[in-house]
Structure 1
Amino acid sequence: MQNVERTVVKPTSDVRLDKPRFEFSKLLVKLQTSIESFFLRKGYIFLFIGFLLGRALILAKLTPFSLPFFAAVFFIRRDRAPIALLGLVAGAATLSLGEAAVTFGTIVLFLILFRVTGRWMKNELRGLPLLVFFTILSMEMSRTAVIEGNITVYGSAMAGIEAGLGLILAFIFLQSIPLLTVNKRRQSLKTEEIVCLIIMLASVMTGTIGWTLYDISIEHVLSRYLVLVFAFVAGATMGSTVGVVTGLIFSLANLSSFFHMSLLAFAGLLGGLLKEGKKFGVAVGLLVATLLIGMYGETGQPINKMLLETGVAILLFLLTPTSLTSKIAKYIPGTAEYSAEQQQYMRKMRDVTARRVAQFSNVFQALSKSFSSIEEKTEGEEPDRDLDYFLSNVTEKTCQTCFKKDHCWARNFNTTYEFMSDIMHELDHTGTISPKLSRDWDKHCTRSKKVNDIMQHQLTFYQANRKLKKQVQESRKLVANQLLGVSEVMGDFAKEIQRERENHHKQEEQILSALQEFGVEIENVDIYSLEQGNVDIDMTIPYCGGHGECEKLIAPMLSDILGETILVNSEECATIPSGVCQVTFRSAKAFAVLTGVAHAAKDGDLISGDSYSTIELGGGKYAIAISDGMGNGERAHTESQETLKLLQQILQSGIEEKVAIKSVNSILALRTTDEIFSTLDLAMVDLQNASARFLKIGSTPSFIKRGSKIIKIQASNLPMGILQEFEVDVVSEQLKAGDLLIMMSDGVFEGPKHVENYDLWMKRKISELETNEPQAVADLIMEEVIRSRSGMIEDDMTVVVAKIDHNIPKWASIPVQSMLKEA
């Protein structure tokens, strides 16, 4: 009982401990959502930014920020322009009421000019900064003329400088404001966008110049905090960039803060270099920079005040939630968060693509079932329906005008129907009516001769219609088989898409270091797969001068490192000494196939009716095929060649062998009404385990020579194109290294003269061979058959011999591991 009570009480206490933490995190999420809604969705962020920019100064006199900011908000979010205007005027009023009036007047003048020039402005995005320039220039020139009574060179120069700054700031705000207002961004930030964002943030912070809290400068705290955040998020490069840009803006706003640029830049550099130490490392970087600049720089400020401002910035930085820095890092290229976000996006796109491909696969499968179901229904219904239509046409022309119509069809329907059905079937099969059936029919029908003649005439239409329907049914079967094959291919493709590239950073570093320690210069290693038998590695190596370093050195070393034979699959060599080579290494197949072919046309002609093909398919499979077209000459050659071409294209698409052969058969049967048939002898060899699958369609037997043992491979299918529907017999056989696979056409197998048993003769000739070289074996078999015919070639003859052997690489593996251990 005590054990039971403990197991019950313990989860309850855990729930009570986790409950306050859960409620606190929920409260933080709710608070964050409320703040985002207030500032971003309702637009009050423009009020805050406008207030600070309205009181921001350059060179202690110029205020170029107000109009560019209003123009950008007016162009991007016109509904929030009144809020921005209110913030700008309120900020300017903190400087003076006259400055607020000038700011308001400048914006009103801009709106008037925008309305007037709107009809001629073709591109508002490009024309807006120019309009800002002319508005500020006009307003400042007018202001100078009113205050000083005339236009001076100094006043004109200052007006031009302020207008030029307004032009530049308009471009910057047009790029940076969307980054602050758009809640969800999918693409990453460009370098120009990041710089524009930093300039805008620094410009906003200049509005805090002069603000102090307990003798702590607000602008110094905020600028150092900004540098800390970007150094922590993006490293030394971005941290120092942010420091330089922010310091430059502050220096322009207040010349006494010029030293601040070197402090911020140095802090961003040190903080970025120490970001591996997390937040404390970055904080130490700012602290060290403050101490060095404070002790050895001419800052004009006491070091204790600088350290206090730095401490406040560090405190704010440490209190910044990780979720905020992670969200910022997602949009900056080069960060781990950005890579994870991109990988997640690519994974999502991959899953969506795979799902769509799988849906298409299901669609094709459903279409295939639909065609198959139509075929099954029609096979049961069509014969009876066709018979009824046939008899209906016959009775319409004979029985409708007969006076015994009621007697035959109303009183004796079954008898009449059976008589006419039997007559139709006998005419269809034999062309005549048996004497017994003819006598019985004459007794039953008074117009028997006329019915027979009409039935004979209608039978020709019936047979033509039946043949046409068979072709339509075969077309449906072909479509169903092809759709099923496409469905399977697309299903496999969807699975292949979902296979994500594995993360092999550790293995890449190990291989790179092992090769470099051995003295081989490698620039880059990319591993895509380390699966046994399916290794896939890409390397970038310096120019080797064409000495075959990849094949002779790197591949053998990889073979020892990975524990299997690795070969060079493809290589793109550099053409100049300063270039690099791109090399792909793949797993070597366990077995290799060496082929030899001998063929001859009938009577020594140039064109043979036989065709052969050796095809290396994907997935480590090797196909050997022989096709024999009906007859001889060019027409038979075209037919057999077309058979192999169709088969090769279908097999290379990934469709299973049985479906491929059935599809080729259906195409041959439907393509022409002529009786053109072709045989097919196909062997599929798996190069990883040497297993073989034999598919024989009307072809002669094949033989496997294993030492002194001869194995016969035979199947009993008719040639292709004869039957619309047939089952493919598949014979499987496990081959071994050293085996000879001998395939031949009927001209070779049945060629020997005065031979009663072709099997025994061919086995004896193969067993007597003293060579295992494929080409020599093919030539010897062909010569033996021709000699038996006294040198005559009475049919097209083709022999294909394939030798299965272990795939021995050209270069042995180099024992890298043992050498490194000894060293």
Structure 2
Amino acid sequence: MQNTTEITGLRLTERLGRLLEGRSYAALCLCCGGGGMVAAMARIIGQPAPFGVAFAAAVPFRFTLPTALGVAVGYLASAGVSGGYRYIAASFLVTLIRWLLRPEKWDRWKGWICPFTASSCVLLAGVVPALYRDPLLYDALLWLTQIVIAGAAASFLDRAMAILSGEDCRTRFYATALGVLFAIGVMGLHTIQLGGVTLGRIAAATAVLAAVRVRGNSFAAMAGILSGLAVGFCTGDFPLYVTIYGLGGMLAGIFSVFGRLGSTLAFTFTYGAVSALASRSPSGFIEVTLAAVLFLMIPPTVFRLLAATFTPSAADEATVKCLLEERLTGTAEALREVSDTTREVAKRLARTAGGDLNGIFDRVAERLCKKCPYSMACWQEHYSDTVDALSHSVRKLKNTGSLEGEDLPDSLGRCIRRDQMAALLTAEYTAWTGKEEARRRAARARNLVTDQFDGMAIALEGMVEQLEEIAAGAPALAAHVEEIFREAKLEPKRAVCWKDREGRVTAVAEIPQYKQARAVPEQLAAEIGEALELTMSYPKVARYGANIRYTFRERPLYGVEYGSCQLCSGGGSVCGDSFRLFTTSGGQAHLLLSDGMGTGSAAAVDSAMAASLVTRMLEAGMDYRSALRMVNAALLVKSGEESLATLDAAAIDLYTGKVRLYKAGAAPTILRRSGRGVLVESTSLPAGILERVEFEESSFTLEEGDLLVLLSDGASAQGCQWILRELEAFRQEDLDSLCQRLARTARLRRTDGREDDITILCCRLTRQL
């Protein structure tokens, strides 16, 4: 399947840039000249404005001359020779200055020289008329206002031109620049009218309706106010047009839950009714009807591209990703350092604790023998014999649990306090064993805590690896998804898309919980796949607070068929083996088998606990290494009795067919690849028997039709060669039937007179259509 999102994912400005790159210079000159003409025709309360001069200062260098000609035509058409000659002269003066400076110098100082040149040329063009008449204070203030307007407009238009060349406009300043460009366009088109119907008001109404589809209520209200101000500057009637467009935009946004038609009808009625009441003319209804027709003719793709262009970005995604990776990595290293330090300190304390039996003998000698007349003979002349006798007594005490005076060895025959010595040895040994047990429990708990620190560190490192797999966000694709949810009347709270390093697309959208009944996941997946030109899988649906989250992923190349069979030992009803067959996000299929120690309910508890915990952790996004550490710690503290379980897992990447095996004390795994059987064995220890247990890992790649078989030790007790032959002879039958036949055969082949639980899991890769 070819991934074509590199084209569909472009923002509108990027598409315009690529479109203009392939067009002739003459066509581009015509566009710039037309833009200059519209800017020059813009008027403020019926008077010419220096927007044409600002436009001439902002366009790219190679289009300065055609732009100046367009500006001249615009001023002549709207103000005539007498009213527009100053601005015509100023625009040609701007062109001359730009030619004298050359483009490299202009681009170097562009941020300040563009508005400065526009203002200076308007200033110079007004000097000559001022010499021939005495200007009034009003004329001087008007002249100063025109100079300021020229500089400010040139600054904003310069940013807008940068946007149209492909720069990111999802910041407030650049969005304001586009708003100024739009307002100037509306003001210029407003001078083109026929029978009271103006092209500017039609364009403004169309823009407000489009804003509803692009960003919803708030964006529509903002576009309405901006359109009202633009038309108000032209006519001087600010209250009327701000009310018409602002109120219309707000109502269109409210009724957008009924789709494009609902918002169109709401805006049309508001605009037409208020305009008719104010002007007593049908021109308002004509304008809004034409705007509605234009709006309904715009294809949805245009709205998606506009949404991607105007989607605000709170922070650069690379910066956020780098910050998260740094914080997670630092936390993982800190946890690992805590674990290592705790373990090292515990080892040193254990070496200096002095927990041997000699301490008991020293205390007995100090308390009982210090004032005895035979002390010198026992503890100096015959020291070795005395210590050996006491050691023998302690061993007897350990075996029988009691010690009397007559139980002491004959070598202590000279002792005159045998009963007291026996009692003191019993008391000291009892205290010593209690302390030793406490030390062992503390050491065990300490090891469990350090293991959990290790597990959390590994989990955080796994999160860093997952972040590194995210190549980049895709706001344009997210706009497609948001528009599809909006058209389905699901009121999306947000939508995000990203690609991993393999180019695979993930899309996430959240809707209010009360809208879930309206959603049809299969239809949404099909529409998103069509919009993104991909094939999407059925979405994962989860609840997050008051919202419902839908996660769509590009459909993997492979699917997987499962088979399983379990036979309980001795025909019982409780099996000591537990297994899980499931698929996690990211196109990972998992086979998980756990075999508890022994048979019956106790083994079933251990295996079910191990399988359930690992499954839950994998579904939460953790990796196998951290899951094993957590499960191992859980089995160690589950009860005071010995508790252990094997873990045998296979994770299959359904996009590539790559398989990773994870084994902790598990039986061999068998696979049939290209028709031949292969045996994968392990020498690792099960979970719950030692601290810091590790998986033994191996990997290989499967293709369509290949088989993977996981076994418990009850199935492999008589070897696995016969299973290899069975798999090589296997044809396209049901996988459950295959597992049942292997399990029954394994039971019949057992000849050692013992029985054990038997579990066989099988999966087969299939290529998805």
TM-score by length of 2: 0.52
Query: Aligned equivalents of 2:147 and 2:69: distance in 1?
Result: 12
* Cα distance change on mapping 1:798 and 1:549 into 2, 3 Å: same
Query: Does structure 1 retain, via aligned residues, the 8 Å contact 2:364–2:424?
Result: yes
Q: Deviations over 1:456-475 (max 9, x none)?
A: 55444434433332232222
Matches within 5 A, 1:686-697: 686-687=653-654, 690-697=657-664
Query: Does structure 2 retain, via aligned residues, the 8 Å contact 1:263–1:290?
Result: no
Query: Does structure 2 retain, via aligned residues, the 8 Å contact 1:627–1:643?
Result: yes
Matches within 5 A, 1:446-595: 451=421, 454-493=424-463, 502=472, 528-529=498-499, 531-532=501-502, 534-536=504-506, 558=533, 567-568=536-537, 570=539, 586-589=553-556, 591-595=558-562
Q: Which amino acid in 1 is paired with 2:767? A: I
2:199 match = none
338, 342, 359: which is aligned to 1:371? Answer: 342
Query: Aligned equivalents of 1:429 and 1:631: distance in 2?
Result: 29
Query: Aligned equivalents of 1:645 and 1:539: distance in 2?
Result: 29
Q: Which amino acid in 2 is paired with 1:797? A: I
Higher mean C-alpha deviation, range 657-666 or range 488-497: 488-497
Q: CA deviation at 1:501?
A: 6.3
Q: Deviations over 1:132-158 (max 9, x none)?
A: xxxxxxxxxxxxxxxxxxxxxxxxxxx
Query: Does structure 1 retain, via aligned residues, the 8 Å contact 2:455–2:630?
Result: no
1:809 match = 768
Q: Deviations over 1:194-236 (max 9, x none)?
A: xxxxxxxxxxxxxxxxxxxxxxxxxxxxxxxxxxxxxxxxx99
Structure 1 gaps, min length 5:
1-234, 244-258, 511-524, 560-565, 573-581, 751-756, 811-823
Query: Does structure 1 retain, via aligned residues, the 8 Å contact 2:558–2:657?
Result: yes
Query: Does structure 1 retain, via aligned residues, the 8 Å contact 2:393–2:409?
Result: no
688, 691, 697: which is aligned to 1:725? Answer: 691
2:636 match = 669
Query: Does structure 1 retain, via aligned residues, the 8 Å contact 2:50–2:149?
Result: no
1:628 to 2:595 alignment: yes
Secondary structure at 1:485 match in 2: helix
Q: CA deviation at 1:672?
A: 0.6
1:799 match = 760
Secondary structure at 2:47 match in 1: helix
* Cα distance change on mapping 1:303 and 1:718 into 2, 3 Å: closer
Query: Does structure 2 retain, via aligned residues, the 8 Å contact 1:626–1:682?
Result: yes
1:263 match = 47
Query: Aligned equivalents of 1:345 and 1:759: distance in 2?
Result: 55
Query: Aligned equivalents of 1:404 and 1:599: distance in 2?
Result: 72
Query: Aligned equivalents of 1:551 and 1:324: distance in 2?
Result: 42
Query: Aligned equivalents of 2:509 and 2:401: distance in 1?
Result: 76
Query: Aligned equivalents of 1:351 and 1:583: distance in 2?
Result: 26
Query: Aligned equivalents of 2:382 and 2:313: distance in 1?
Result: 83
Paired residues, number: 513
Q: Which amino acid in 2 is paired with 1:642? A: M
Query: Does structure 2 retain, via aligned residues, the 8 Å contact 1:268–1:286?
Result: no
* Cα distance change on mapping 1:461 and 1:726 into 2, 3 Å: farther
Q: CA deviation at 1:673?
A: 1.0
Query: Does structure 2 retain, via aligned residues, the 8 Å contact 1:698–1:716?
Result: yes
Q: CA deviation at 1:311?
A: 9.3
Q: Which amino acid in 1 is paired with 2:760? A: V
Query: Aligned equivalents of 2:54 and 2:497: distance in 1?
Result: 33
316, 338, 352: which is aligned to 1:381? Answer: 352
* Cα distance change on mapping 1:415 and 1:670 into 2, 3 Å: farther
Query: Does structure 2 retain, via aligned residues, the 8 Å contact 1:682–1:695?
Result: yes
* Cα distance change on mapping 1:718 and 1:495 into 2, 3 Å: closer
Query: Aligned equivalents of 2:87 and 2:656: distance in 1?
Result: 80
283, 291, 294: which is aligned to 2:79? Answer: 294
Q: CA deviation at 1:733?
A: 4.7
Query: Does structure 1 retain, via aligned residues, the 8 Å contact 2:374–2:414?
Result: no
Query: Does structure 2 retain, via aligned residues, the 8 Å contact 1:695–1:729?
Result: yes
* Cα distance change on mapping 1:568 and 1:680 into 2, 3 Å: closer
Query: Aligned equivalents of 2:685 and 2:431: distance in 1?
Result: 29
Secondary structure at 2:46 match in 1: helix
* Cα distance change on mapping 1:669 and 1:459 into 2, 3 Å: farther
736, 739, 749: which is aligned to 1:778? Answer: 739
Q: CA deviation at 1:597?
A: 0.9
Query: Aligned equivalents of 2:504 and 2:731: distance in 1?
Result: 37
Query: Does structure 2 retain, via aligned residues, the 8 Å contact 1:691–1:732?
Result: no
Q: CA deviation at 1:387?
A: 4.3
680, 684, 700: which is aligned to 2:667? Answer: 700
Q: Which amino acid in 2 is paired with 1:295? A: G
2:165 match = none
Query: Aligned equivalents of 2:529 and 2:415: distance in 1?
Result: 94
612, 627, 643: which is aligned to 1:660? Answer: 627
692, 698, 702: which is aligned to 1:736? Answer: 702
2:104 match = none
Q: Which amino acid in 2 is paired with 1:664? A: V
Identity percentage of aligned residues: 18
Query: Aligned equivalents of 2:576 and 2:402: distance in 1?
Result: 41
2:175 match = 334
1:714 match = 681
2:331 match = 360
Query: Aligned equivalents of 1:302 and 1:713: distance in 2?
Result: 84
Q: Which amino acid in 1 is paired with 2:589? A: Y
Query: Aligned equivalents of 1:432 and 1:759: distance in 2?
Result: 53
Secondary structure at 1:665 match in 2: helix
Bigger relative contact order, structure 1 or 2 (CA pairs below 8 A, ≥6 apart) = 2
Query: Does structure 1 retain, via aligned residues, the 8 Å contact 2:58–2:157?
Result: no
Query: Does structure 1 retain, via aligned residues, the 8 Å contact 2:672–2:678?
Result: yes
* Cα distance change on mapping 1:302 and 1:357 into 2, 3 Å: closer
1:683 match = 650
Secondary structure at 1:663 match in 2: helix
TM-score by length of 1: 0.49
Secondary structure at 2:767 match in 1: coil
Q: Which amino acid in 2 is paired with 1:644? A: A
Query: Does structure 2 retain, via aligned residues, the 8 Å contact 1:568–1:583?
Result: no
Query: Does structure 2 retain, via aligned residues, the 8 Å contact 1:271–1:284?
Result: no
* RMSD, matched Cα: 5.9
Query: Aligned equivalents of 1:648 and 1:486: distance in 2?
Result: 17
Query: Does structure 2 retain, via aligned residues, the 8 Å contact 1:741–1:801?
Result: yes
Q: Which amino acid in 2 is paired with 1:663? A: M
Q: Which amino acid in 1 is paired with 2:539? A: S
* Cα distance change on mapping 1:496 and 1:683 into 2, 3 Å: closer
1:745 to 2:712 alignment: yes
Q: Which amino acid in 1 is paired with 2:671? A: I
Structure 2 gaps, min length 5:
1-34, 90-121, 127-139, 161-168, 180-309, 481-494, 511-517, 542-548
Query: Aligned equivalents of 1:402 and 1:568: distance in 2?
Result: 89
608, 613, 621: which is aligned to 1:646? Answer: 613
Secondary structure at 2:671 match in 1: strand
Q: CA deviation at 1:800?
A: 0.8
Query: Does structure 2 retain, via aligned residues, the 8 Å contact 1:294–1:303?
Result: no
Q: CA deviation at 1:734?
A: 2.2
Query: Aligned equivalents of 1:342 and 1:324: distance in 2?
Result: 20
Query: Aligned equivalents of 2:384 and 2:558: distance in 1?
Result: 70
Q: CA deviation at 1:671?
A: 1.9
Q: CA deviation at 1:646?
A: 1.7
Query: Does structure 1 retain, via aligned residues, the 8 Å contact 2:58–2:154?
Result: no
